[in-house]
Amino acid sequence: MRWRQSRFPRLAGRRCRQADEVRLRSYARAWKDVGMTALLLRDLKLSVRAGGGAMIGVLFFMTVVAVIPFGVGPDLNLLARIGPAILWIGALLAALLGLDRLFQAEREDGSLDLLLMQETPLVLTVLVKCLAHWLATGLPLVLASPLLSLFMNMDVSAIGATMLTLLVGTPAITFIGAAGAAIAVALPRGGLLVSILVLPLAIPVLIFGVSAVYAAIQEPAPFLPPFLFLTALTLVFAVIGPVAAAAALRASTD
Amino acid sequence: MRLVAEGLSAKRGEDLIFRDVSFDIGAGEALVVKGPNGSGKSTLLRVVADLLPRESGKIRLAGGETQGFDSVAGACHYLGHRNAMKRELTVEENLRFWKAFFGDSRGGTGVAIDEAADAVGLGGILHLPFGYLSAGQQRRMAMAKLLVAWRPVWILDEPTAALDASAEAMFAGLVKAHLSRGGLALAATHQPLGLGAVSELQMGGFAAIFAEAWV
């Protein structure tokens, strides 16, 4: 067990500083390394090959948003008013859709063992996998949102604000979703569990995302405070998510 | 370099799978772990690779050339039951990824991808998706993964399970070449690996511990 403990920083004394230095150096080495680029490219390739599921999220997003006008009816003012919220809810659910496969696919073919064994910090490996996942599934949602905004009769400023908030907010869903995916990695049907685990943590992202859009299109409310909160949430989850996911992956080996 | 284990024991659930396992493998040596099914061979290998927590004991690298290794696992290649290759990617993409991701450990360099494929006897099929290969070919390509990046320690769990006789001989050659470069190997197997005279570790498993406790 000594091994395991030595991965975490000791709290006091010179050994702490030495350990931190060693860790920082290994982070820097890994970053310069071609290994992380290779991982990013591999995950991107996998996501566009058969069964990769990069398009599944966009299709789901499109389906959710496209059926709303049929359900709500042809009230254009109502559609414009609820549009940003509908887009955000659709994007949130679509972003959660493929998350459970993030580590499960690696575990099923044995790659996870090899990812865990390397001297490259596992947190960095997880972070790069998150980035690849966001590029493959989150970014397409952002790019599809202006088109889908037209379904909801939104004007130009609302479309711009929705796109900007989705761009800033969806990485947070991926990062915190990675932690959920790592916890559920060993479960055979972890898909729904991941969504249930992650959804409460993703609610603040939804709240600040939607309120930033409404602040941008409605006169008295200032846009910047909710938008900065959204940015802060993404940054916090970018730290917490990979650390929690790495810890969960270490604990899940069997 | 030597790989030293002292008094290892590991649990699966509440039960001790093995107890007080010690070994010392020197450079150029191989240790073959033997025992019936369920005797804890795979568990021992996964404990050495730091993929399972151990109950007690120590694993360490000793001797020269151990600088540059932060952990034992970082000095190891692990060939488990699963091949750790993506079915959707071509063989070349798989090997290229692992070569870049592993990087070479201190003290050696891996061979190029086509050389590694030639070494396992499958030179011409690098362009095929990994999922198109037969089980035996997939296993061979998983072995090529050991060659593309240098690691001093090879941990092999039933490496030749799906292979024909000629592939077994080929694999024995690979392991011998690795040992002659100063590498170490720790293998669990039922079949003879064809390595000549190597030291063996006999595992008794849960039943043996249980019997010992009752005597």
> Which tens digits make up the pLDDT trace of A194-253?
888 899 999 999 999 999 999 998 878 888 999 999 999 999 999 999 999 999 999 887
Chain B closest-CA separation from residue A183 CA (Å): 16
Q: Which amino acid is at A121?
A: P
Of A39, A52, A108, the CB nearest to B88: A52
Collapsing DSSP to helix, strand or coil, B149 comes out as: coil
Residue numbers in B near A35 (CB within 8 A): 100-103
Contacts of residue B131, defined as CB under 8 A and 6 or more positions apart, other chains included, come to B87, B88
The answer to whether residue A14 scores a pLDDT higher than 60 is: no
Subunit contact B69:A119, Cβ cutoff 8 A: yes
At CB < 8 Å, which residues of chain B contact A? 46, 49-54, 69-71, 73-74, 76, 78, 80-89, 93, 96-98, 100-103
pLDDT tens digits along A155-186: 999 999 999 999 999 999 999 999 999 999 88
The answer to whether residue A11 scores a pLDDT higher than 50 is: no
Mutation target among B59, B78, B101, B133 for the A interface, most CBs of A within 10 A: B101
User: Tell me, what's the ipTM?
Assistant: 0.89
pLDDT tens digits along A124-158: 999 999 999 999 999 999 999 999 999 899 999 99
User: A113 CB near a chain B CB, below 8 Å?
Assistant: yes
The DSSP-derived string for chain A is -HHHHTTSPPSSSHHHHHHHHHHHHHHHHHHHSHHHHHHHHHHHHHHHSTT--HHHHHHHHHHHHHHHHHHH-S-HHHHHHHHHHHHHHHHHHHHHHTTTHHHHHHHHTTHHHHHHHSSS-HHHHHHHHHHHHIIIIIHHHHHHHHHHHHHTT--HHHHHHHHHHHHHHHHHHHHHHHHHHHHTTT-TT-HHHHHHHHHHHHHHHHHHHHHHHHHHHSSSS-SHHHHHHHHHHHHHHHHHHHHHHHHHHHHH--
What residue has token string 């069964």?
A: A51
Question: What is the average pLDDT across A38-55?
Answer: 84
User: A26 CB near a chain B CB, below 8 Å?
Assistant: yes
- Distance from C-alpha of A134 to C-alpha of A115, rounded to nearest angstrom: 20
- Distance from C-alpha of B12 to C-alpha of B5, rounded to nearest angstrom: 19
How far is CA B141 from its chain centroid?
14
Q: Are A141 and A94 in contact (CB under 8 A)?
A: yes
Q: What is the pLDDT of residue A33?
A: 66
Domain boundaries, chain A: 17-253
Residue A10 confidence class, pLDDT cut points 50, 70, 90: very low
Of B76, B82, B102, the CB nearest to A109: B82
Mutation target among A113, A115, A185 for the B interface, most CBs of B within 10 A: A113
- Distance from C-alpha of A254 to C-alpha of B12, rounded to nearest angstrom: 9
Residue of B nearest to A116 (CA): B51
Instruction: Give burial (CB, 10 Å; 0-12/13-18/19+) of A241.
Output: buried
Q: What is the pLDDT of residue A27?
A: 62
Residue of B nearest to A35 (CA): B101
Positions in chain B short of pLDDT 70: 205-215
Question: What is the average pLDDT across A8-15?
Answer: 46
Q: Across all residues in chain A, what is the average pLDDT?
A: 86
